[in-house]
Amino acid sequence: MGRIFVLVFLLTGVAQMLHAQGNPFELRYLLTLEERQELVFNQRNPFELIRGEEADAILGFFPETVKPHAALQPYDDLRYVDAPGLLFWIYLALFVLATLLFNLGRTQTGRWWRATVNDQLTLGLQRESTKGYGAAWSLWYVFFFANAGIFLYQAVNGWTNGQFPGDNPIMLPVFTGAVAAYFLAKHLVLHLTGRIFPLNRPMAHYSFSIRLFNVVMGMGLFPLNIGMSYSGDTLRDVFFYLAVGWICLHLLFRVLRALQIGLPYLASGPVHFFLYLCTVELAPVLVLLKWLQTDGHALL
């Protein structure tokens, strides 16, 4: 009797085990969707790791509400351009140039920064620029042209949401050349104005002040441009607004310096002053704004 009881117990356990494993001869493709889902969820170990073809087959039985979502695509901020290879080499060359110029004129660099708020110091630097410091001034001005061009390149790309100039590295020297052409033409106009009218001294003073403020502006733009080129999306905006604030601050101080230089001569030639203001100062800004409103393609 005991043997019969043990045999029944073993047969019952084996039957339960076989039932838990499922019928290997069951044709699952004939089952309804609800029956297949029941097989998937009720007959599987929830902690079992399923891979390969079996996992793909089981995913087909899942209802749409529990299917894994598609992989999230990385967000690409098109307002900023990924720095092309040419931009890296330009940054490296500018870093070497700045290092050499800082080492060759450590005392002069500090005086240039102080001269932005001291007109008498500006006059002293103007006299010194004609006595052996012309080469350093020229190199620092090239440094400013490059950094202003890089900033304009990235700012226009942000304004057009990556449509122009995009990742085209050829536009880097184009923007740099545009900045250089604008300021060189501006210095030429100031020189000719001083020669034609009896304003040679104030025009030379104002022209040198523009060079001074631009050189100091270029020193500050260099690290901000690098931050815009190689930082993350959030920090890029921070560096961009810092650069815009830096430029606006220097423009404000330059306007104040221009008023300080030009007010004594305004009463004697107001017409000439307003002609210069509209032609040299305001017209390029209006042209640039018009160009940006057309996504940078109208004047190309």
| Mean pLDDT for the stretch of residues 197-221 | 89
Whether 162 and 218 share a structural domain: yes
- Per DSSP, the residues of the chain read -HHHHHHHHHHHHHHHHHHHH--TT--GGGS-HHHHHHHHHHSS-TT----HHHHHHHHTTS-GGGSPPPPPPPP--TTSPPPPHHHHHHHHHHHHHHHHHHHH-HHHHHHHHHHTT-HHHHHHHHHHTTTT-HHHHHHHHHHHHHHHHHHHHHHHHHHTTTSSSTT-TTHHHHHHHHHHHHHHHHHHHHHHHHHHTT-HHHHHHHHHHHHHHHHHHHHHHHHHHHHHHHS-HHHHHHHHHHHHHHHHHHHHHHHHHHHHHHHHHHTT-HHHHHHHIIIIIIHHHHHHHHHHHTTT-TT-
Residues 6+ positions from 144 with CB-CB distance below 8 Å: 214, 215, 217, 218, 221
Q: How far is CA 97 from CA 2, 102, 138, 218, 220, in A?
A: 100, 9, 12, 13, 15
For Cα atoms 257, 258, 263, give the angle at the middle one, nearest 5 degrees.
110
Whether 52 and 90 share a structural domain: no
In one-letter notation, the amino acid at residue 257 is R
Whether 108 and 215 share a structural domain: yes
Q: How far apart are CA 197 and CA 72, in angstroms?
A: 67
Q: Give the distance, in angstroms, between the CA of residue 2 and the centroid of all CA atoms in the same chain.
A: 86
- Would the pLDDT of 202 be above 90? no
Asked if residue 164 is part of any domain, the answer here is yes
Q: Give the distance, in angstroms, between the CA of residue 159 and the centroid of all CA atoms in the same chain.
A: 11
Asked if residue 76 is part of any domain, the answer here is no
Q: How far apart are CA 253 and CA 6, in angstroms?
A: 102
- Would the pLDDT of 156 be above 70? yes
Which domain, by its residues, includes 9? 2-66
pLDDT band for position 48 (cuts 50, 70, 90): low
pLDDT in tens, 249-269: 988 898 888 888 877 776 666
Asked if residue 20 is part of any domain, the answer here is yes
For the chain, percent of residues with pLDDT exceeding 90: 21
pLDDT in tens, 219-254: 999 999 999 888 877 788 899 999 999 999 988 898
What's this model's pTM, rounded to 2 decimal places? 0.66
Whether 156 and 56 share a structural domain: no
| Mean pLDDT for the stretch of residues 35-53 | 60
Asked if residue 260 is part of any domain, the answer here is yes
For Cα atoms 215, 216, 219, give the angle at the middle one, nearest 5 degrees.
90
Whether 117 and 247 share a structural domain: yes
- Would the pLDDT of 59 be above 50? yes
Q: Kindly state the greatest CA–CA separation across the chain.
A: 133
Asked if residue 52 is part of any domain, the answer here is yes
Whether 46 and 156 share a structural domain: no
The pLDDT value recorded for residue 65 is: 47
Whether 21 and 161 share a structural domain: no
- Would the pLDDT of 13 be above 50? yes
Structure tokens that stand for 231 in this block: 């930082």
Whether 10 and 56 share a structural domain: yes
User: Is the peptide bond prior to 63 cis by the omega test (within 30 degrees of 0)?
Assistant: no
The pLDDT value recorded for residue 241 is: 92
Whether 62 and 90 share a structural domain: no
Whether 137 and 28 share a structural domain: no
Whether 25 and 131 share a structural domain: no
Q: How far apart are CA 255 and CA 251, in angstroms?
A: 6
pLDDT band for position 300 (cuts 50, 70, 90): very low
The pLDDT value recorded for residue 299 is: 44
Total domains in the chain come to 2
| Mean pLDDT for the stretch of residues 99-128 | 85
Of 254, 253, 219, 220, give the one whose Cα is nearest residue 239. 220
Q: Name which residue leads in pLDDT, 153 or 30.
A: 153
- Would the pLDDT of 218 be above 90? yes
pLDDT band for position 82 (cuts 50, 70, 90): low
- Would the pLDDT of 72 be above 60? no
